[in-house]
Amino acid sequence: MRTHFTLLLLFFSCVAFSQRSEKKFAPPDSFPAVKLWLADSLEEIDQQVLVRLKGKALADSLVAFAEEFKGDRYRRGGTGARGFDCSGFTLVVYRRFGIKLPHTSQGQSLLGVKVPIPQIQKGDLLFFRSRSRRSKRIGHVGIVISEKGEPVRFIHSSTSHGVRVDYLEADYYKKRFMKAARVLPFR
């Protein structure tokens, strides 16, 4: 049974890294095949375990794909090879895994389930005020890349540095943090 879990995790990791060099952003065609394979070969495993495993593997694959863009430049309205804005980055990363998001941080903040800070986990979205600390409007979004219980790290496209990783505890982000939301299924 342990070999089935290892094979499943290995498969999801391979899916995340496939076709990156071509910058294809369509959802992988192999997920329906995975569902069939799971149904045939892992019937003896409790369905709740499968749901958690698929969720963790999906989050791991999503984060691995997002991290491949580190260093790409910021571009207002960008969603691809010439650069990303913050919501364009999250849109592209989630779209790769079949999850459609609007192309605004404000619009993305309306999706999913709100998550308290201690429950934040890999794959969740973090939302921040715009540059003005007094603003009540969401103006920035990033993807959590750390595991639950670790200091919260997130990847995002920042206007000054492009796609990079930062900590929620950093003063700049801590003061502007508004909420976290979970949009991944099976979590």
Residues known to be catalytic: 86, 140, 156
Chain center to CA of 41 = 28
Cβ contact 110:166 at 8 Å: no
- Centre a 10 Å sphere on the Cβ of residue 182 and count the other Cβ atoms it contains: 20
d(CA 83, CA 104) in angstroms, rounded, equals 16
- Centre a 10 Å sphere on the Cβ of residue 120 and count the other Cβ atoms it contains: 23
Sign of CA dihedral 175, 116, 142, 121: positive
d(CA 35, CA 57) in angstroms, rounded, equals 13
